[in-house]
Chains A and B, each alone.
Chain A
Amino acid sequence: MRWSSRGERTLRFPANRVHLGSVRRTGWAERIVAVVIFSGLASFGQTAQPAARFVVVLDAAHGGSDPGGTLSSGQPEKAATLALSVRLRSLLAARGIAVVTTRESDTDVLPNDRAAIANHANAQVCLNLHASETGSGVHLFVSSLAPSPPERFVPWKTAQATAITSSIALAGALNAALLHAGVNVTLGRTALITVDSMTCPAVAVELAPQRGSDNQITAQPDDPDYQARIATTLATALLEWRSEASHMEARQP
């Protein structure tokens, strides 16, 4: 998989470097449990209804007894992700996009419950929101599962495999918008329990500190202005993604 970076420092594994592509889960749950999932992929670009409702799922990671990481400001990651989710939800709703959130307050939500909310919403976009004190700019991650064709029955823990192609395209769209806004972006693939169980095009968005040319931090991930700038950029990218999705639907026979 090759990534668009417009020549800027966005490549995850550059020259003479290697990365692991797909990985495989094992475990009793996968072997025993095959959950019936109405594939979210089928709803994107393959639905019989050209005017299907465009739904975005915002998953503010952590919450409740799970604080996540601790940011340099001392704030827990769960507070920063919830703040970003609320900002983004408001911006998307103002643009007429239906938004489903996995949590609206500081509550515990299990990873499987988050994926279940996203899968039941039959969403066209799922954003798993995180914040980190390491790195810089915005880190965009797609599941490292190997792509598989859409099927009626898919294992719960690897459900994202059917949507990998769309997820990569979505990450490309977000990457382009963030680069256009002058944000440093790092792209990669990883294994996340919640994202791997989602059937919608899903990207994990990790907000890292904003750094200047001298690598000094100029804004923390929980900085309201910084968050507002990133949220506006993501909302713009999702609007563009929606219009592209509607064009693709219009081209369907």
Chain B
Amino acid sequence: MIPRYQKILFLLLLVASLAMGAELWHLRERAHQRLLAGENSAPTKAPVIAPAEQATLLVANDADGSLTPQARSLPLPSDPGARARAVLGQLLDLYAAPDAAHHLAGGASGLAQVFLLPIPADAHKAAGELAVVNLTSSFASTHPSGIETESLTILSICGTLRANLPEVTEVRFLIDGQPRATLAGHADLTRTYLTADAVPVAGTAHE
């Protein structure tokens, strides 16, 4: 014979178990609804591919130490920073080609980031933008060493930025986010390069 108090206790435990099971089911449903709601908030539209535009790359040549403008049709983003990265990436890809006249290893992967920072106007200069070009250490370590070849790389980057983003007036270089004395032992990376001093030279110059 089961005592009365045990029957009551059993019933209470049964009711509590059923209540907890119901609450668990309810929580599971709420979590499932939250999950579905999160999925619904995800973008469903495919990313828009930027339209192709004309970009000008200043391509270096080690043989005669020249920089030649080359027009290229590229999909360029509207954001200036992404645009700068796109044109410089294309420039470095060009240099990575085996038959490049200014051969550099790595291609666009040698360019980590490009940041554009506003330069306020003052009494000595007009307002513009400073481009901070962050190159990778692997790019710097595989770059050929020499005054001419290092200068050509820097000049072609500065000239390409100026040709496609005229608002960029100054350029600074970093390697893996850190300042560095030289690119590959020669060209000074501690200074700020002024793109405003880029001047076209018409014809063969003679003194």
Contacts and interface: CB of A to CB of B under 8 A. Distances in A.
Contacts of B158: 20
A19 B201 contact: yes
B186 A14 contact: no
Interface string A16-39: 111111111111000000000000
Contacts of A12: 64-66
A94 interface: no
B146 A5 contact: no
Nearest to B159: A18
Most buried by A among B63, B148, B198, B202: B148
A27 B199 CA distance: 26
B66 A25 contact: no
Contact of A20 (B144, B186, B194, B207): B194
B80 interface: no
Nearest to B193: A23
A192 B186 contact: yes
Interface in B121-173: 144-149, 151, 155, 158-159, 170
B147 A136 contact: no
A105 interface: no
A10 B142 CA distance: 28
Given A7-B204, A20-B198, A191-B187, A70 B64 contact: no
A135 B199 contact: no
Given A18-B201, A21-B197, A215 B69 contact: no
Contact of A190 (B66, B187, B197, B203): B187
B192 A2 contact: no
Given A7-B204, A134-B144, A24 B191 contact: yes
B38 interface: no
Contact of B149 (A16, A135, A146, A191): A135
A136 B63 contact: yes
B66 A14 contact: yes
Nearest to A4: B207
A17 B149 contact: no
B66 A13 contact: yes
Interface stretch (A61-69, A223-231, A242-250): A61-69
B182 interface: yes
B19 interface: no
A153 interface: no
A192 B148 CA distance: 11
Interface in B65-97: 65-69
Contacts of B200: 16-18
A193 interface: yes
Given A14-B64, A24-B192, A192 B147 contact: yes
A211 to B, nearest CB: 9
A175 to B, nearest CB: 9
Contact of B203 (A15, A26, A70): A15
B145 A77 contact: yes
B146 A133 contact: yes
A172 B207 CA distance: 9
A222 to B, nearest CB: 14
Nearest to A77: B145
A193 B181 contact: yes
Interface of A: 2-7, 9, 11-27, 62, 66, 68-70, 77, 130, 132-136, 139, 141, 146, 172, 186, 188, 190-193, 196, 204, 206, 208, 215
27 contacts: A3-B207, A5-B206, A14-B201, A14-B203, A16-B69, A17-B69, A22-B197, A23-B191, A24-B191, A25-B188, A62-B185, A69-B184, A69-B185, A77-B185, A130-B146, A130-B186, A132-B144, A132-B149, A135-B65, A135-B146, A136-B63, A188-B151, A191-B188, A193-B182, A204-B147, A208-B148, A215-B63
Given A23-B192, A139-B148, 11 more contacts: A13-B65, A14-B203, A14-B204, A16-B69, A24-B170, A27-B190, A130-B146, A134-B149, A141-B147, A191-B191, A193-B182
Leading 8 A-B pairs by shortest Cβ distance: A69-B145, A132-B146, A4-B207, A21-B197, A2-B205, A191-B188, A25-B191, A190-B151
Interface of B: 58, 62-69, 144-149, 151, 155, 158-159, 170, 181-182, 184-188, 190-195, 197-207
